[in-house]
A = this chain, B = another copy of it.
Amino acid sequence: MNALQVAADAADGTSAAAAAASTATFSRTGVASLLRRRFFYSPAFDIYGGVSGLYDYGPPACAVKNNVVALWRQHFVLEEGMLELEGTCLTPEPVLRTSGHVEKFTDLLVEDAETGAPFRADHLLEEHLVATVEAGTLTPERAEEAAALRARLDELDEAEMATALKAWAVKAPETGNDLAPPYAFNLMFKTQIGPKAGVVGYLRPETAQGIFVNFKRLLDYNGGRMPFAAAQIGLSFRNEISPRAGVLRVREFLQAEIEHFVHPQHKGHPKFASVADRVVNLFPRAQQLTTRVAVPMAVGDAVAAGTIANETLGYFIARTDMFAEKMGLTLEHVRFRQHLEHEMAHYASDCWDLEVNTSYQWIECAGIADRACFDLTSHSTAAKVELTVREVFDTPQTDELWVAVPNKGALGKSFKKDAQKIMAALAAADQDTLGAYAATSGAGEPVVVAVDGGLASGDATATVEPSMLSFKRVTQTVHGRNYYPSVIEPSFGIGRLLYCLWEHAYFVRPPSGDAGAAAAAAAANAPPAAVLRLPAEVAPVKVILLPLMRQAVFNGRLGEAADALRAAGLSIRVDDSGQSIGRRYARADEVGTPFGVTVDHQTVADGSITVRDRDTTAQVRCPSIAAAVEVVRRCCAGLGSWADVTAEYPVVAATAEGEEEGQA
Contact = CB atoms under 8 A, between A and B. Distances in A.
Contacts of A216: 47
**Which of A44, A220, A251, A566 gathers the greatest number of chain B CB atoms within 10 Å?**
A44
Given A45-B92, A81-B573, A59 B194 contact: no
Contacts of A66: 73, 84
Given A48-B213, A577-B223, A88 B39 contact: no
**Which of A85, A94, A118 gathers the greatest number of chain B CB atoms within 10 Å?**
A85
Contacts of A44: 87-88, 210
A204 to B, nearest CB: 11
Number of copies: 2
Contacts of A213: 45-48
A39 B86 CA distance: 12
A550 B85 CA distance: 29
A331 interface: no
A45 B93 CA distance: 11
Given A39-B221, A235-B235, A87 B56 contact: yes
A62 interface: yes
Contacts of A310: none
A554 interface: no
Nearest to A116: B196
A90 interface: yes
Interface in A214-232: 214, 216-218, 220-221, 223
A90 B59 contact: no
A191 B194 contact: no
Given A59-B83, A85-B56, A196 B118 contact: yes
Interface residues of A, number: 83
A119 B45 CA distance: 35
Interface in A571-601: 571-574, 577
A112 B213 CA distance: 33
B78 A59 contact: no
Contact of A58 (B55, B90, B194, B221): B221
Given A85-B58, A189-B191, A237-B90, A569 B74 contact: yes
Nearest to A591: B221
Contacts of A574: 81
A241 interface: yes
A192 interface: yes
Contacts of A203: 191, 203
A437 B398 CA distance: 107
A39 B83 CA distance: 11
A448 interface: no
Contact of A88 (B54, B94, B223): B54
Contact of A90 (B91, B189, B221, B387): B189
Contacts of A38: 221
Contact of A56 (B42, B59, B86, B385): B86
Nearest to A225: B577
Contact of A95 (B48, B63, B85, B240): B48
A533 B544 CA distance: 39
Nearest to A84: B62
A158 interface: no
Given A81-B573, A196-B118, A48 B383 contact: yes
Contacts of A371: none
A617 to B, nearest CB: 23
A59 B85 contact: yes
A252 interface: yes
A240 B185 CA distance: 29
A57 B86 contact: yes
A39 B241 contact: no
Contact of A47 (B55, B191, B194, B383): B383
Nearest to A562: B81
B190 A189 contact: no
A189 B88 CA distance: 14
A194 B190 CA distance: 11
Contacts of A193: 51, 54, 189, 239, 251
Contacts of A94: 48
A89 interface: yes
Interface in A52-80: 52-59, 62-63, 65-66, 70, 73-74, 78-79
15 contacts: A39-B217, A42-B217, A57-B87, A58-B217, A62-B85, A74-B569, A90-B189, A90-B237, A109-B195, A189-B193, A190-B191, A191-B191, A194-B239, A194-B241, A203-B203
Would you list the 5 A-B pairs with minimal beta carbon distance, nearest first? Answer: A57-B86, A47-B383, A118-B195, A59-B83, A189-B191
Interface of A: 38-39, 42, 44-48, 51-59, 62-63, 65-66, 70, 73-74, 78-79, 81, 83-92, 94-95, 109, 116, 118, 185, 189-196, 199, 201, 203, 210, 213-214, 216-218, 220-221, 223, 235, 237, 239-242, 251-252, 379, 382-383, 385, 387, 566, 569, 571-574, 577
Given A56-B86, A59-B83, A81-B572, 19 more contacts: A42-B217, A44-B87, A44-B88, A44-B210, A48-B382, A51-B193, A55-B88, A62-B85, A74-B569, A78-B566, A79-B566, A81-B573, A89-B237, A118-B194, A189-B191, A191-B203, A194-B240, A194-B241, A195-B242
